[in-house]
Homo-oligomer: A and B are copies of this chain.
Amino acid sequence: MNRITLSPRIRMTPYHRSVVEAGVSDISVYNKMVMPTSYGDLLAEYDRLLNGVAIWDVSVERQVQISGPDAHVCAQYFTARDITNMVEGQGKYVAMCDHAGRILNDPVLMKLSGNRYWFSIGDNDMLLWCKGIAAERGWDVDVTEPDVSPLAVQGPKAEDLIAELFGEHVRDLKYFWFIETELQGIPVVLCRSGWSKQGGFELFLQDGSRGNDLYSIVMAAGEKYDIGPGAPNHVERVESGLLSYGGDNTPDSNPLEAGMGRYVDTDTEVEYIGKAALQAVVANGGPERVFVGVNVEGELTEAWPLPARTPVTLDGEQVGTLSAIVHSHRLGRTIGLAQIARTVVEADATVEIETPEGRRSATLQKLPFL
């Protein structure tokens, strides 16, 4: 049942022809769009990300644009972090919450020129959320999904490649900061970003008709760095402890339970959705669950990926959920990600997890692994 029926309900990306030519073998569906997940050799893709440079079609990371006179107050209202002092060209990793303080998304929020903000979102339809609430509030804003499709260039050689394409000044960009620029006439926003801890950039293509042109330009310039295709890498992201929204967290989690505590401002004057609920969580001593790493006993013969969250138990009682389990090539052992009751984490307990190959014991540790 791994064969997918495509449909106009599920959009192709602007890089579609390029990723097919590059040999895409596996996909997922993310924000109702096709997301390439592998080109048939996951180990080579991992090696390229760790030691060279990889090109990823991450168009599925859609932008929700808030523009117009009330853009700032509107963007702030959707953001569980004080963005008062943000300046143009800056990005911040933020949590979006519902009125009960449950996390709805973990985007990078970018402040662009012309009184515009982009929420560069994970897998949940924040366009619907923002559009409905902004209209009800009567704010003078446009809430749209612009024609913007990120292409990521990740790995230790990404900076050299991007400097060659855009100029040496890109080396000065701080993490999540960006410039609005162009590449051979193709409009892009260039941001130091990407869903790995190996360094790199995201090129936010602003003209979907030029996707394959942009892909070709980056590939040609990357040839001398041995660039090759890849995708957000399941093993590296587990090693790095990067949250996969909607996969790692249960739907009722607050951002503190999803490992985002340090990005949430509760002691602030600004108003945002979920603030009172999050203040109550802090006042009550912190989150009930913690996003942690698990060190798994033994090896698994096949451990990529887990198709559903499975129970974590202690003395037969469920105390959390496991959301990923992989063989770490760098650590040479089996690791995973879980959301686990804080009391269990604080007791440094050894838990039991359900893996595709049966029950295993596991110890807990802070993220990231590496």
Number of copies of this chain that the complex holds: 2
Q: Tell me whether A305 and B25 are in contact in the complex, defined as CB-CB below 8 angstroms, given that A32-B246, A98-B135, A125-B128 are known contacts.
A: no
Q: Tell me whether A12 and B133 are in contact in the complex, defined as CB-CB below 8 angstroms, given that A3-B2, A5-B38, A124-B128 are known contacts.
A: no
Assess the A26–B4 pair: CB atoms within 8 A. Answer: yes
Q: Tell me whether A132 and B133 are in contact in the complex, defined as CB-CB below 8 angstroms, given that A24-B1, A306-B8 are known contacts.
A: yes
Total contacting residues, chain A, CB less than 8 A: 54
User: Would you call A255 an interface residue if the criterion is a C-beta within 8 Å of the partner chain's C-beta atoms?
Assistant: no
Minimum CB–CB distance from A335 to chain B (whole Å) comes to 16
- With a CB–CB cut-off of 8 A, which chain B residues contact A305? 5-7
Assess the B9–A26 pair: CB atoms within 8 A. Answer: no
Bound-state Cα–Cα, A20 to B38, Å? 24
Assess the A1–B28 pair: CB atoms within 8 A. Answer: no
Which A291-339 residues sit within 8 Å CB-CB of chain B? 305-309, 323-324
- With a CB–CB cut-off of 8 A, which chain B residues contact A1? 19-20, 24-27, 34, 36
User: Would you call A247 an interface residue if the criterion is a C-beta within 8 Å of the partner chain's C-beta atoms?
Assistant: yes
Q: Tell me whether A244 and B9 are in contact in the complex, defined as CB-CB below 8 angstroms, given that A3-B3, A133-B136 are known contacts.
A: yes
Q: A8-B244, A126-B128, A132-B133 are in contact. List 18 more A-B contacts (CB 8 A).
A: A1-B24, A1-B25, A1-B27, A1-B36, A2-B4, A3-B27, A5-B26, A6-B28, A6-B308, A7-B247, A8-B307, A9-B30, A11-B308, A12-B307, A98-B131, A99-B132, A128-B128, A129-B129
